[in-house]
Structure 1
Amino acid sequence: MKTPTLSDETPPEESIRKRAMAASGWIAIRRPAMMIVQLGRNIVLTRLLFPEAFGLMALVAVVMQGMQMLTDVGINASVIRSERTDQAFMRTAWTLQVLRGLLLTALCAIFAEPLAYAIAGPAKAQQLAGLLPLASFVLAIGGFRSANHIASNRDLKIGRLTIIHTFTAIASLVITVGLAAAGMGVLALVWGNLANAVIGVGIEFLLLKGVTHRFELEGAAVREQMGLGTWIFLSTMLTFGANQIDSVMLGRLVSLEMIGFYSIAFVLSTQPKELAFRFATSVLFPAISEKARKSGGDFRGAFHKSRAVLLGASSFIVVGVAIFGPLFFELLYDPRYEPSGWMSRWLCIPVWAMILFGTKDRALITLGAGRYLAASNAVRLVGSALGVYLGHKFAGLPGLIVGLSIGSFLGTGVVTLGLVKAGLTDLRNDFVFSGWTLVASIVGILAIEGVNQIPTLSNAAHIGLSIALGAVVLAVHGYTLVLALGAMPHVRKVLGRFGLARVAGALPGRS
């Protein structure tokens, strides 16, 4: 009798290309929906909570992410990369995931005080330590996530995952706002996170089918899933340090109030990065992995095509944040959070650096060059630490933010070196889109700051003229991106496959 596998559920005629396009469409829906929910949540909660609550929760998030990343041995990446899709293999992955979640919660509760001291310093350690035991239950709950979410990502079946994540976010938003309105303070954020985890796990088990869940540890599956463990463990450990060095240093350098402003600004500014990373991990990496598994699969071509469109979309959003970030906070947020406006603009620099890095690094795993991934994250960590320290020393918080980008730019160089050695590079996309992003951001910022220097304008006129000028710059930038993408023959093919042949034919550079 044939052992059922998850791949049996994928029709043989369904191509990688069609599934990748369908997944891209779902993510194009999901990311804006999640962004609206997340930003709406913050707009409401900033009227109910003081900045210190967001600052304290930002430090809790650092600990939670650190615990997760420092114990990442590459289970998900191994499942996506593997040719095995049988029940025993997937149940082993789920069992390891559950054990890891339970272990993390236990460690976080036991070592709450030293963890709090390490992250927040002596002045804030007591407040943070009091929250960690409760907050850490999100790790145990998350460990029980259905193994079918990994399979869905692997097979580029993102539709139900999009529905699940969007519904979960809305439900937890309602719960969090209700608790905050009831006067629970920072605990409203903690319980909201727990509600999000419980609802998400429950709905995944209801809607995602495939794996029959029970505890199982098959020896061969364990060895394969832990096979990438050494390099991925080193890489994720270094990634955590590079990604969170700003939060760790902020915990010791500034007040909880300033950390709160920073965390709110970070949510807006990192939306383009989240979009890029979501496409990279949910579409780009699984697609090129499947291409690589198939003999003669042109995963290099898939990489170039997908990344060009991804960088173009990210560039448009980054420029939008750089131009309109301060105005967004001025119009929609409680006046107490005005400092988040200028922070959001400065954060666009490290965010773009992270996008360049994060849309390349996963390709190293597909190519079996995990050592370069670890090396790139080591460079990121050292570069970010030095940049953050020196930036804050000489230029305060703006310097810290700009210094954060140094590590990502250096890390991108190491990733590029690894890809070149493996016969894959994408420098043209790096330079083209970075150049246009820089120019458009500078022009847009100068236009709006010029309006600010006109003393005779009323507040309404100032806002209206700023929006109009910013919109013109952003529209021109968007058109420029379309022209740049249109000059790339492989992008024409992508447009044609989406049924946009007329658009592709209207672009310049047609051969």
Structure 2
Amino acid sequence: MQREPEIDKLMTNSLKQLAIRGAFWTIAGFGGRQLIRLGGNLIMTRLLRPEFFGLMALVMTIKIGIELFSDYGISQSVVNNRRGDDPVFLDTAWSLKVIRGFQIWILSFVLAYPIAQFYRGQDPQGELLYLLPIVGFTAVLDGFSSSALLSWERHLEVRKLMIYDLAVTAASLMFFVLLCWWSPTVWSLAIGNVVSGGINLVASHFVDSRYRNRFRLDREVLKEIQNFGKWVAVASAIMFMADQADRFILAKLLSFERLGVYTIAYTLASIPRDVIRELSSKVIYPAISKQLDLPRLHLREKIVKQRWLLLLGLAVSLAALTTCGDWLIMLLYQGRNKHWDQYQHATWMMPILCSGIWFSVLFYTTSPALMAISKPVYSAQSNFVRFAMIGIGMPLAFYQFGEVGAIVVIALSDLPLYSVNLYGLKQEKLSCTTQDLYCTTFFVTVLGLFLLTRYSLGLGLPIHILLQGT
């Protein structure tokens, strides 16, 4: 009679240890990957003009959009499905990945001309027409990559995933830098993406000898993936619109040069969001998926308990990044940079963008629970409201208040994302509202103290360039 609770306790402790190790390796791997990318970015911003980064930001946004609009929920199915270790299931999932890769590449050809015409005013040379199909080919390479990586994610083997990602990122970056040094044009960035996809493809098939994929389409597996993935596809499509609409709109409202500056500010400001997204997909979601047999009340208690340290740590980190964001931009991009006159505008953008990411932190620490219980519809609804705010609010704010108004709307766009998610959590008896209120109060207090300390020391505010009208 006493054995079952003892076994449950052992399983819980084992899963907890896996999750802790997974969180450590996720943060360590993400930090290492960001340092590598940052090093490469610092070199390339000294070789390339800002408009090249703006143009590539738009190209990558379009490519990601095509990918998310054609998302079948393949990776989530491998992680979540009880048959996720079955070779038949894995081969079918891999075959779908390959088919999807070709679909994305074909769509990049089809969409290249109308998109190039739409942005003709910002791209008079028509480079978008050729850049989209070149970068789109990386989807084919990604499609052929081994399912071993998905299996590692399923079993919380985050250490392997992070070491693999670091190695691929470092190798890819070497080619990026060499190409940009040899030919400082936007084409080097495009070809670098293809080379990176090729490195990932080759490496993925040598990392684990247990996985040798072959083409196979099992009808029962297809049905299971389709049933799970139909809402994932909707959620992914809407998430893309919510996440990337800012770049589409800014590319039309501003020059590619200004879009490149915004992309740098947004990338650095989004580091806390990216960290929590990594934890969300690689640790929180798989960990919750393994505890779905627990009563909802018990599951909620576990989620709340594990969130405390994570939220408090991120609150301090985000407050510090908001307070010192302008200094970080100057430290990284000002020295020996002939394009600093353009890049300096990122110093006021970054703190504003940082301040609004807190609601994204709250969202990504709870939304995996709704995904794990097969309720991705709430994620779709949350992202739709965020998309509506960006799509309607940004142009209105831009025409009323200029570039600053558009940036403020982007910063606040995570609030509706989080708010709608609260409804889903309440409906599924997984609400963490009280914890969110306490942690939000803590974040605002810490941020206020940091800003007050900086101002009292005569160091001004992080948006001083904006206040001076420079």
TM-score (norm 2): 0.89
Distance (whole Å) between structure 1 residues aligned to residue 394 and residue 307 of structure 2:
29
Counterpart Cα distance in 1 of 2:381 and 2:396? 23
Cross-structure match for 1:123: 122
Give the deviation of 1:385 after TM superposition: 1.9
Q: Report the Cα offset of residue 436 of structure 1.
A: 2.4
Q: Which residue is 1:366 aligned to?
A: 372
**Number of equivalent positions:** 446
CA apart distance, 1:110:
2.8
**1:478: which partner in 2?**
none
* 1:416 match: 422
Write the distance in 2 (CA, Å) between the matches of 1:112 and 1:103.
14
Q: TM-score w.r.t. structure 1 length? A: 0.82
Partners of 1:121 and 1:363 in 2: how far apart?
43
Measure, in 2, the Cα distance between the counterparts of 1:40 and 1:422: 44
Q: 1:372 to 1:46 in 2, by over 3 A?
A: same
- After TM superposition, the structure 1 = structure 2 runs for residues 286-297 of structure 1, keeping only pairs within 5 Å, are 286-293=286-293
Report the counterpart of residue 245 of structure 2 in structure 1.
245
1:349 aligns to 2:367 (yes or no)? no
Paired letter, 1:413: S
**Matches for 1:46-445 after TM superposition, within 5 Å:** 46-84=45-83, 85-118=85-118, 120=119, 122-124=121-123, 126-293=126-293, 298-333=298-333, 334=337, 335-336=340-341, 337-445=343-451
Native 8 Å contact 2:352 2:407 kept in 1:
yes
Tell me if the contact between 1:160 and 1:208 (Cα under 8 Å) persists in the aligned partners: no
- Whole-angstrom CA distance in 2 between matches of 1:296 and 1:60: 43
- The equivalent of 1:31 in structure 2 is 30
Counterpart residue type for residue 143 of structure 1: G
User: Is 2:228–2:374's contact at 8 Å kept on the other side of the alignment?
Assistant: no
Q: Unaligned stretches of 5+ in structure 1?
A: 1-10, 455-461, 467-511
Cα distance between partner residues in 2 of 1:450 and 1:13 = 49
Given candidates 446, 450, 454, the residue that maps to 1:448 is 454
Letter in 1 for 2:196: N
Answer yes or no: is the 8 Å Cα contact 2:357–2:414 preserved in 1.
no
- Distance in 1 (CA, whole Å) between partners of 2:459 and 2:378 is 48
Which residue is 1:502 aligned to? none
Deviations, residues 469-508 of structure 1 (Å, cap 9, x unaligned): xxxxxxxxxxxxxxxxxxxxxxxxxxxxxxxxxxxxxxxx
User: What CA distance in whole angstroms lies between the structure 2 residues aligned with 1:264 and 1:405?
Assistant: 15
CA contact under 8 A between 2:122 and 2:256: conserved in structure 1? no
C-alpha contact (below 8 Å) 2:122/2:255 kept by paired residues: no
**Closer, same or farther: CA 294–435 of 1 in aligned 2, 3 Å:** closer
Shift in Å, 1:146:
1.3
For the 8 Å contact 1:346–1:398, the answer to whether it is kept is: no
Q: Residues 360 and 417 of structure 2 are in contact (CA less than 8 Å); yes or no, is this contact kept in structure 1?
A: no
Using the alignment, how far apart are the partners of 2:94 and 2:295 within structure 1? 29
* 1:330 to 1:225, Cα distance in 2 relative to 1, 3 A: same
The change in CA–CA distance for 1:240 and 1:184 in structure 2 (over 3 A counts) is same
Gaps of 5+ in 2: 1-9, 465-470
Q: Distance in 2 between matches of 1:202 and 1:394?
A: 51
Per the TM alignment, residue 83 of structure 1 is displaced from its structure 2 partner at its CA by 0.7
Are the counterparts in 2 of residues 90 and 211 from structure 1 also a CA contact under 8 Å?
no
Moved more, 157-166 or 285-294: 285-294
Letter of the structure 2 residue corresponding to residue 253 of structure 1 = L
**Inter-partner Cα distance in structure 1 for 2:120 and 2:359:** 29
Letter in 2 for 1:367: I
Q: Distance in 2 between matches of 1:161 and 1:198?
A: 18
Q: Alpha carbon RMSD of aligned pairs, Å?
A: 2.5
| TM superposition shift of 1:407 | 3.7
What letter matches 1:222 in structure 2? L
The one-letter code sitting in structure 2 at the alignment partner of 1:426 is C
Q: How far off its partner does 1:140 sit?
A: 1.0
SS of the aligned residue for 1:403 comes to helix
* 1:370 partner amino acid: P
User: d(CA) in 1 for partners of 2:209 and 2:315?
Assistant: 37
Please state how far the C-alpha of 1:12 moved relative to its aligned partner.
8.7
Opposite residue 442 of structure 1, the aligned amino acid is G
* Alpha-carbon separation, structure 2, partners of 1:442 and 1:399: 22
Q: 1:490 corresponds to which residue?
A: none
Structure with higher RCO (Cα < 8 A, 6+ apart):
2
Secondary structure of the equivalent of 2:122?
coil
Instruction: Report the 3-state secondary structure (helix = DSSP H, G, I; strand = E; otherwise coil) of the residue aligned with 2:290.
Output: helix
Q: Percent identity?
A: 28
Aligned to 1:18: 17
Q: How big is the shift at 1:45?
A: 1.0
